[in-house]
């Protein structure tokens, strides 16, 4: 849970957005990474 918060806080700072947008951005990145790993 602490790592997830730290990752979200880092994404918020990196993109300069609010918490919700940072969480959505992280989710999209995860889906993109999964797609690459599966070869889609």
Query: Which is nearest to 36 in space by CA: 28, 9, 21, 8?
Result: 28
- Please provide the average confidence, as pLDDT, over all residues in the chain: 96
Terminal Cα-to-Cα distance of the chain (whole angstroms): 30
Q: What is the pTM of this model?
A: 0.80
- DSSP-assigned letter for residue 16: T
Q: What percent of the chain has pLDDT over 70?
A: 100
Q: Is the dihedral of CA 27, 31, 10, 22 positive or negative?
A: negative
- Report d(CA 33, CA 13) in Å as an integer: 21
């Amino acid at each position: 849970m602490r790592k997830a918060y730290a990752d979200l806080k880092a994404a918020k700072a990196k993109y300069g957005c609010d918490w919700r947008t940072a969480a959505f951005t992280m989710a999209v990145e995860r889906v993109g990474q999964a797609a690459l790993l599966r070869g889609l």
